[in-house]
Amino acid sequence: MENLILAAYILPSVLLGGVLLGMRLFRGSMSPGILAGFSLGHGLWHLGLSLWVLLVLPLPHYFMESRYLFVDQLGIFQVLIASVVFILAALYSRGYVSHLLSNKELDIENLPVFYIGFNLLLSVITFAFFSNNLALFWLFLELSTLFSALLIATLNARDNLVAALKYIFIASTAMIFAFIGLIILFSLTRQAGSPGTLNWDELASLAPLLSPSVLGLSALLILTGLLAKSGLVPLHNWLPAAYAKAPSVVTALMSATVLNIGIVGILRLSALLRQSQIGETFSNVLVGLGILSIGVAAFSMLSRRNLKKLIGFSSIEHMGIMLLAIGIGTPLAVFWMLFHTLAHSLVKSGLFFSAGIIRRQYGSDRFDRIFDIFRLQPV
């Protein structure tokens, strides 16, 4: 039963990949409308399955004997957000992708690659939120980087490839530091009398027994990777460039869901360290980085003239607000931080959808070329 639930989450992506691969081998083709419709069905299936998990399974629910995967209230909350945003993105993609094809911004040969990456990204996001094991969480974070970069690079413009490579370089370099932090943390748990573990639930019970100085070093290294994945200062440089060049349907999904993976990782890491002697120090670091991210993003927005870059810096600012709330760490602060993730995901995806429509109407993302917008978009 447990394995069937996990398989049900990945089945639509595997099915789409198999069908498109078969059609490629036999020189068949599939229209953007059909692929968008399949993606919509995937999103609805994903939402229904997640609601069933929420209503039927006792939470937290652990999968497999190793307990490497689990569903808890935080994870299913984020997966439900991802489901809703993906459904909206799939609906939006029907007309948007057709426009990219008609403008020669996307080659018809790259259409299967785009939709396979689009659907696989939802599966990767889901399993990242369901990861109880930090090493597995790290793996899905890296996969989310690769699939996001693939979607950015599918457009024909050379700038898209540059933006995708910049994203991979910054995020993956930071994740190397996070991987070193995981190795240190695993070794530290063995010194505490454990066989060695990276499971969140087991680490919580071991945290008071771990060396504060070594645990702090490990936490800072892991935090480096999570900051990059969340687009937080000082590892935020990839985000404005990637968001400005990526297709709007992709930036909507990245801003509303992929950034949340890093924030959830920081939230779980903070909860873990609060069980140790360095919890207060780590919280102060988060507060400082949150304020820094808010300030840098706010001042950066003043000089931006590209609409999608402006929205990208807004995402950095809101990630900073969430980080500040995690650093404060009171139940009320965490509640409003979670509410903020929901509001940010829905509003920011809507803003990127609107940015895509504006670019289609005006042929530009620059403010100085956009006028009479309320006449063209009265709603």
If one counts the domains in the chain, the total is 1
Residue 377 confidence class, pLDDT cut points 50, 70, 90: low
**pLDDT tens per residue, range 336-345:** 999 999 999 9
Instruction: Tell me: pLDDT of 307 over 90.
Output: no
Q: Which pLDDT does position 226 carry in this prediction?
A: 96
- Tell me how far the alpha carbon of residue 191 is from its chain's centroid: 34
CB atoms within 10 A of CB 57: 14
**Selected residue with higher pLDDT from 294 and 27:** 294
Q: Note down the domain range covering 184.
A: 2-274
Q: Which pLDDT does position 244 carry in this prediction?
A: 87
**Selected residue with higher pLDDT from 370 and 349:** 349
Cα distance between residue 290 and residue 151, in whole Å = 29
Q: Is 291 exposed, middle or buried, given 0-12, 13-18 or 19+ CB atoms closer than 10 A?
A: middle
Place of tokens 């070794």: 187
Cβ-proximal residues to 204 (8 Å cutoff; 6+ apart), any chain: 271, 272, 275
Q: Which pLDDT does position 72 carry in this prediction?
A: 93
Instruction: Tell me: pLDDT of 350 over 60.
Output: yes
Is residue 127 within 8 Å of 70, Cβ to Cβ?
A: no
Cβ-proximal residues to 42 (8 Å cutoff; 6+ apart), any chain: 12, 13, 16, 86, 90, 119, 122
Is residue 41 domain-resident?
yes
- The percentage of the chain sitting over the pLDDT mark of 70, rounded to a whole number, equals 92
Average of pLDDT values for 224-249? Answer: 91
- Tell me how far the alpha carbon of residue 365 is from its chain's centroid: 24
- The percentage of the chain sitting over the pLDDT mark of 90, rounded to a whole number, equals 56
Half-sphere exposure of 35 (CA within 13 A, CB side): 26
Average of pLDDT values for 42-65? Answer: 91
Is residue 235 within 8 Å of 229, Cβ to Cβ?
A: no
79's enclosing H/E stretch is helix 73-102
- Tell me how far the alpha carbon of residue 79 is from its chain's centroid: 11
**pLDDT tens per residue, range 108-124:** 888 888 999 999 999 99
Q: Which pLDDT does position 23 carry in this prediction?
A: 61
Average of pLDDT values for 345-363? Answer: 84
Residue 267 confidence class, pLDDT cut points 50, 70, 90: very high
Q: Which pLDDT does position 374 carry in this prediction?
A: 59
Is residue 256 domain-resident?
yes
Q: Which pLDDT does position 354 carry in this prediction?
A: 86
Instruction: Tell me: pLDDT of 18 over 70.
Output: yes
Q: Which of 353, 379, 309 is nearest to 95 (CA)?
A: 353
Cα distance between residue 170 and residue 240, in whole Å = 13
Least confident of 99-103, 133-137, 182-186, 255-259: 99-103
Strand 61-63 with 69-71, pairing:
antiparallel
Residue 17 confidence class, pLDDT cut points 50, 70, 90: confident
Q: Which pLDDT does position 327 carry in this prediction?
A: 96
Q: Which pLDDT does position 47 carry in this prediction?
A: 96
Q: Which pLDDT does position 8 carry in this prediction?
A: 85
Q: Which pLDDT does position 157 carry in this prediction?
A: 77
Cβ-proximal residues to 33 (8 Å cutoff; 6+ apart), any chain: 94, 98
pTM of structure: 0.93
Is residue 91 domain-resident?
yes
Average of pLDDT values for 15-40? Answer: 73
Place of tokens 């609601």: 51
Cα–Cα separations (whole angstroms), residue 6 to 64, 123, 124: 10, 10, 12
Is residue 315 domain-resident?
no
User: Average pLDDT over the chain, rounded to whole?
Assistant: 88
Query: Hey, is 7 helix, strand or coil?
Result: helix
Which residue type is seen at 28?
Answer: G
Is residue 377 domain-resident?
no
Is residue 221 within 8 Å of 177, Cβ to Cβ?
A: yes
Residue 316 confidence class, pLDDT cut points 50, 70, 90: very high
Instruction: Tell me: pLDDT of 172 over 90.
Output: yes
Average of pLDDT values for 86-101? Answer: 91
Q: Which pLDDT does position 249 carry in this prediction?
A: 92
Q: Which of 7, 10, 16 is nearest to 37 (CA)?
A: 16
Is residue 348 domain-resident?
no
Report helix angle 238-245 to 134-153, nearest 10: 40
Sign of CA dihedral 47, 10, 30, 102: positive
Is residue 349 domain-resident?
no
Is residue 294 domain-resident?
no
**Selected residue with higher pLDDT from 66 and 238:** 238
Query: Hey, is 63 helix, strand or coil?
Result: strand
